[in-house]
Amino acid sequence: MSDIVSKALVQWGMEGAEFNLIAARENQVFRVDHDGAAYAMRLHRSGYRSDAELKSELQWMRGVSQGGLNVPVPIVSNDGSLLHNVDSTQVDMLTWLPGKPLGSASDGLNASDHIGVMRKVGCEMARLHLVFDQWRLPQGFARPAWDREGLVGDEPIWGKFWNNPELSAADKALFLKVKEVGKTVLMQQEQSLDYGLIHADLVRENILINEDIIQFIDFDDGGFGFRLFDLATTLLPNIFEPDYEEMRHALIEGYHSVRPLDIALLDLFMLLRAMTYIGWIIPRMHEEASQARNHRFIKRGRLLANLLQDRIQTGNRP
């Protein structure tokens, strides 16, 4: 990939700049240092997003930054483009944000004051949604939709979670019931739910803390969806923390201090978010440590489903 980075640097007028790989999750992210400034160059995973979707994401991030949020800002290349294809790899460049991630899936939370941080994250998430609602979509804007079909349709965006190869017969039956009830509840309630642009992946790794400043990165999975999905995404990795209930309350309190949001279906969205991971990992089962991750995802999904088991079985509103 170093050849692609070197070629891409030419497009942004940064020939010979120092670069280092700093993340290799869905995309490869390199830190680029040039003329006393730092940048983030992203090499996108082949086939995951179309050029139209990536250009839309970059326009969107620029709009969010102009709305006063602390997010990476796209850097225009020499020819005025936001995105280049270099040796069949989609490449873009963003400003580098200082700070440390809130934590990671493997290492846990990286914050001494869990409650205070969650309250701030809730405030900033609500501000993000306000900016989303005020931003005018450009012509040709293309992003995925985490709507009813995207979550519990026959072809969910992140895969058929009920077909995960490691599911027991009991788990498969339970998760199919989750799909059925989730679809029913959303059909009944979606008109009253807060729906619009969402980040969709505000996990620990994508929340940077720079002193007291909360920053959001990685809009790669962002699109249209239910606002409760964003809250559920932030809460889900923390359900086994000893102070989870206090963290949950703080996130909601922080959010409500900025904008209203009906949280009656939050537990359902926690469950549906857990299902997305069980589907997401299916095509990644060959990757290192995927078996252990898959077992964790299934265990978490089973736990949340069982917590709502009576309601799931009867089809009542969660």
pLDDT per residue as tens digits for the range 170-198: 999 999 999 999 999 999 999 999 999 99
All domains in the chain, ordered by first residue: 2-97 (3.30.200.20), 103-314 (3.90.1200.10)
pLDDT per residue as tens digits for the range 254-311: 999 999 999 999 999 999 999 999 999 999 998 888 999 999 999 999 999 998 875 5
Share of the chain above pLDDT 70, in %: 97
Mean pLDDT of the chain: 94
Query: What confidence tier does 105 reach under pLDDT thresholds 50, 70, 90?
Result: confident
pLDDT surpassing 60 at residue 126: yes
**Average pLDDT for 35-46:** 96
**With contact defined as beta carbons under 8 Å apart, do 91 and 83 qualify?**
yes
Please name the residues in contact with 141: beta carbons below 8 A apart, sequence gap of 6 or more.
56, 59, 60
Higher confidence at residue 310 or residue 164?
164
The overall pTM is greater than 0.85: yes
